[in-house]
Structure 1
Amino acid sequence: MQSIDLANPRPVVAVICDRISYFQHPVHAVPETYLRALHEAANVMPVLLPVSPEMLDLPTLLSTVDGVMLPGSPSNVAAERYQAEPLPEQTLKDIYRDETVFSLLPQVIEQGIPLLAICRGFQELNVFFGGTLNRAVHERPNALDHREGCHDRPLTCWYEDRHLVEIMPCGLLSTLTRAPHVSVNSLHHQGVSTLGQGLRIEALAPDGLIEAFTASDSPGLVLGLQWHPEMSLGHSPLAQQIFSHYGDACRQRQQFRSSLNFSGDNKNESIRPVAV
């Protein structure tokens, strides 16, 4: 049995769920790969956050967690969120996740809670900051095919590296890798069309598609990635560095939150942000 180190608790990271159907039951779920990456590479404790806004108590959440993750999903952000024509009826959507995420983000970002957003989460963040999405990035002139390909292949094949991304100089990712280009996987048909206000491009695909950004003016870490670093930890030094850096940001947040709890200063005020 693993010993319990009460003196060094791990930071707590809330991971947004998808609402799916399981034997006709509504279920709140997250793929295990994200949870393992957080546990093993970021050294934090993931907890699942249900996508039922009526269950979401923001004061409780903000005083409890040290980080938030928006993971990827097969579902798409509702086009009405960025004032576009509705997606086709057959397109997989998750209105419960949309409602929860967009009600959660203002306070998470304002309070400086470290935020890591991957794939759908990356797109959610762009929309939150006022950006728009392209629903078929592979149809752009001279575009790469960013989709995962045939679903009959073994799952590991879906996540093989597919193309390079150029790391923008003087950004966060450039501090995590010395390489000007890194190989990444690609499993998406939607992507950034117009970049949201206040977002800084961190990486570009060879066809010009935005693959990563940060919110440089936010009080805490806000990092969005279109690719899936959680599936590349075995061979990608950058993926390791991304989760390690995110874990460090969550530990800073944990220390700040603990200091307020110890002093009692948070009884009548919201948790202030941590500079990262």
Structure 2
Amino acid sequence: MSRPIIVIPCCTDTVAGLPADVVVRKYAIAVVEGSECQPLFVPVGKGLADIGSVLDVASGILLTGAISNVEPVHYSDEEPILPDAIDRDRDAVTLPLIPAAIERKLPIFAICRGFQELNVALGGTLHQAVHALDDYADHREPQVKDFDVMFAARHPVKLSGELRTWLGQETIVVNSLHGQGVKTLAKPLVAEAFAEDGLIEAARAPSGHSFSLGVQWHPEWQIHSNPHSLALFRRFGDAARGKIAKGQAA
């Protein structure tokens, strides 16, 4: 029996000096082993991704984290603080893909940059540098080469709503690797996790979607060692297989 297709838009990079479309492998592993689905990478170079064709084959959409940021032109009149950390090709695919997928009620799992894309695509705004604001903590990763240290659990988040029900916990501890964060939440989204400093750490689409969740942390990292992360990817896979009715809360 074939597995559901989870579409993963790529990031822009270079390989041997040539333009390339890439996805960090940990996301594909999480889809295969956690959701028991088949990942399908979609290139983001100009003219390489037809949104309708992508959605026609997709049972779900995974929006990955990245070292790049959503370009501020999509949510404000601010200049980018880090102009070299812009991926316009990815923006050009993901930002129209998200509302089209929401309209079709396709399952969406949006992680870190993906959560920020989800918010911007639906009308929300971002802080470009959370750590530069007096009211917030520094949510960036430590500058180390050891990935186990980089992706280690770092701070608690308080859960509410459906997310609290899914995980059966009031609070979980998450890994934190982001410089940007939600400033104003898009009106269609419902906040369901907050850091101790009040920053929104997760949000979902309203009822009527089988699974449309954005999280600011990285549940794809070593999912088998974290039951909460595994539970989210399992639920995402179940939604892609149609085991969760679209009329249920996301």
- Fold shared, TM-score > 0.5 on shorter chain: yes
Matches within 5 A, 1:32-181: 32-88=25-81, 90-150=83-143, 152-168=144-160, 171-181=161-171
Rate the CA distance shift 1:54–1:217 in 2: closer, same or farther, 3 A.
farther
Pairing of 1:11-26 with structure 2 (within 5 A) = 11-26=4-19
TM-score normalised by length of structure 2: 0.93
**Percent identity at matched positions?**
37
Task: Provide TM-score, normalisation by structure 1.
Answer: 0.85
Tell me how far apart the structure 2 counterparts of residues 156 and 128 of structure 1 sit (CA, whole Å): 32
Determine the C-alpha separation between the residues in 2 that align with 1:39 and 1:231.
13
Alignment pair present for 1:190 and 2:183: no
The answer to whether the 8 Å contact 2:205/2:213 transfers is yes
Match of 1:250 among 226, 231, 240: 240
**Other structure's SS at 2:105 match:** coil
Q: For 2:97 and 2:224, how far apart are their aligned partners in 1?
A: 32
Deviation string for 1:218-244 (max 9, x for gaps)?
A: 544210000000114133211011000
- Looking at structure 2, the residues matched to 70 and 16 of structure 1 have their Cα atoms a distance apart, in angstroms, of 7
Contact 1:71 1:120 in 2 (8 A): yes
The code of the aligned residue for 1:228 comes to H
Query: 1:275 corresponds to which letter in structure 2?
Result: G
**Alignment size in residue pairs:** 248
- Structure 1 residues 183-262: aligned runs within 5 Å: 183-217=173-207, 219-252=209-242
Moved over 6 A (4+): none
Larger Rg: 1
Q: Which runs of 5+ in 1 are unaligned?
A: 1-7, 256-272
Mapped to 2, the partners of 1:275 and 1:177 lie a distance apart of: 20
Q: CA deviation at 1:182?
A: 0.4
Cα distance in 1 for partners of 2:128, 2:106 equals 29
Q: Deviations over 1:106-154 (max 9, x none)?
A: 221101111110000000111112111001112222422100021x331
The 8 Å contact of residues 108 and 213 in structure 2, kept in 1 or not, is answered as yes
Deviation at 1:53, TM superposition (A): 4.9
What amino acid is aligned across from residue 148 of structure 2 in structure 1?
Answer: T
1:95–1:235 CA distance, 2 compared to 1 (3 A):
same
Given residue 179 of structure 1, which amino acid in structure 2 is its aligned partner? Q
